[in-house]
Amino acid sequence: MRSLRDSVVITGAGVVSPLGHSGPELFSALSAGRSAVGPIDRFDASVFPCAVAAQVRDFKARDWVSNRKNLKLMSDAVRFGLAGIKRAFADAGLETGAVDPDRLGVFVGAGTALGRTEDLIPAMRAATTEDGFDSGRFAEEGMHAINPLWLLKGLSNNVLGFSTADIDARGINQNYCNSGVGGLQAIGEAAWAIAEGRADVIVAGAADSAVNPLHFTGFGRLRALTSGEGPDAVRPFDARHDGFAPGEGAAFVVLESVEHARRRGAAPRARIAGYADLCAAHALGKGDSAVVQQTLSIALERAGWSPEVVDLLYAHGNGTPKFDQIEAEAISAVFGQGYPPVTSNKGQIGHA
């Protein structure tokens, strides 16, 4: 098997985040300990067990959409994703036509595939009587109040579709609908695709917007949301942790074969040394520390590293007691008592 660390480099990055819209801006905010978690002003959150989230602000989608007519077909997550991809592409010193379209790909981790639940409210009101919800009335009157483009706006592969058309990427593409692991999975699998010679350049990452009533309902029923109210409401690996705050945004990197980057004179920002992906969930809300431990061990083995050479662990650490415990157990098992510093950004930019 060809080694990833000898094959794949990162040459660009693009972000849309609650703490800034460039790599340096986001890094500075994270390093300074700033948190974007705060009161929600997008909808009435008083009926939910959590009243905070990390919201993207000062973002103008029209700056990143070539065909403005497409805006009406894009959810917030799709707009974030397209901007993140185009920012990463430009940050790598690339422009449309600079890469053989058949050797250029896009890998995307996508969030929940639905339109805005708020857009269904007029239809539900039209179908509600004194006796409750009337399905016949919904069919006759309610459905006519729903925008016919509602479902199209929420398709999970919209980021993939709009971005590949925009940067003329006709090569291999993948879409991962795998919750919080989707973005990392997209980057890891894109790295393998390049190492195996299936592409020269792939833009990989994820986009999501979990700051809406649908996500708050689902996460609330899972009892995964924090009850905290301030910027320090989410406390990963802390004795006082009690859940996470939803977030939103996009983050993408440009992965490139070493040969292709060298030919065009691109300076690598980093290398992908190793990657592993296993499933530790036996049911919704479940996890398995032994499988997380195994995944860590495989990633280290593929990178050719021993645990002692690792300087930092950037953990999932979403602030829920159950999953923080599972992750902490796996880290301790692999690295022992002398494990390196462990950090997480979920307390600053939310969970998406």
Strand boundaries in the chain, DSSP class E: 8-16, 37-39, 52-54, 104-110, 128-129, 132-133, 173-176, 201-209, 248-257, 270-271, 313-314, 342-343
From 144, 177, 279, 282, the catalytic residue: 177
For residue 179, give the nearest of 227, 218, 142 by alpha carbon.
Answer: 218
The 10 Å Cβ neighbour count of residue 65 is 20
Q: Is residue 316 annotated as part of the catalytic site, yes or no? A: yes
Q: Token match 């098997």: residue?
A: 1
β-pairing verdict for 313-314 and 342-343: parallel
Is residue 241 part of the annotated active site? The answer reads: no
Which of 21, 215, 260, 351 is catalytic? The answer is 351
Does residue 177 have an active-site annotation?
A: yes
Rg (CA), the chain: 21
CA distance 5 to 3: 5
Does residue 11 sit in helix, strand or coil? strand
Q: d(Cα 243, Cα 262) in Å, to the nearest integer?
A: 45
Instruction: Judge whether 159 and 79 are in contact, CB under 8 Å.
Output: no
Active site residues: 177, 316, 351
